[in-house]
Amino acid sequence: MKFTVPPKTSTKRAAIALTCVLATTASTLVATPVAGATSRVEGQCDEVNHVLLPVETSWGFAKHAEVGDTIGYVMTITNTFFEEGKTKIGVAVHEHPTIDDVPDTMKKIDIKPITNNGNGKYLNQNDFASIRYTYTVTEEDIQKQEVTKKLAFPISKGDASETICTVHFEHTQSLKSPFRTYAPWVAGALAIIGAAAGAIWFFFKDQLPQLFR
């Protein structure tokens, strides 16, 4: 027995298939730049909260980065231990933080404890450290078209000099302008969609009234 697909059904399927192809093509052309951030705690610090805020770049959205431009990193590390007054922590008090696994002996990282009791060194419950680091883009970075920075902060407990855990941040920043990189692709995608829409209209113009019956 032979089955024949009604013209109305086949026309609908063809239109849907073409629409899916166009949507896939457009979404591929406007894919977002490579960028991302991760953070983790090495060791036993279950009650230490850590946050990496969105980075601040000096070159803006519509430009590519140049040598001498900067990337600003802002982080917070908070003491969230439940037993108030029992556990105070130090952020890079007895050991230097590291930049790309190298100790920051030049103190390029600015760590400012925000404490309720004005201690200025150790964090009691709900106290936090505000951390800032500014990196200057180099020629090597421009060649790679991205910057990956790894920052690590040793955490000590109370007055002890022993590190109980380490908070790690890693961030990759694209040096390309999303606007300048993808504007031609977006224009091309729109042109493709426009041309295909015209072709669909020309091909199906006599059958469109039947599609929605």
What is the mean pLDDT for each group of 10 consecutive residues in the chain (213 residues)?
48 48 42 67 90 92 90 96 75 96 97 81 90 98 96 91 94 79 48 62 58 54
pLDDT at residue number 200: 62
pLDDT at residue number 211: 53
The DSSP string of 106-166 is T--SEEEEE-SS--SSSB-TT-EEEEEEEEE--HHHHHHTEEEEEEEEEEEETT--SEEEE
Q: What is the DSSP letter of 112?
A: E
pLDDT at residue number 125: 87
pLDDT at residue number 116: 78
Name residue, tokens 């855990």. Answer: 165
Verdict on whether the full-model pTM lies above 0.85: no
pLDDT at residue number 47: 85
Integer Cα distance of 5 and 17 in angstroms: 16
pLDDT at residue number 180: 46
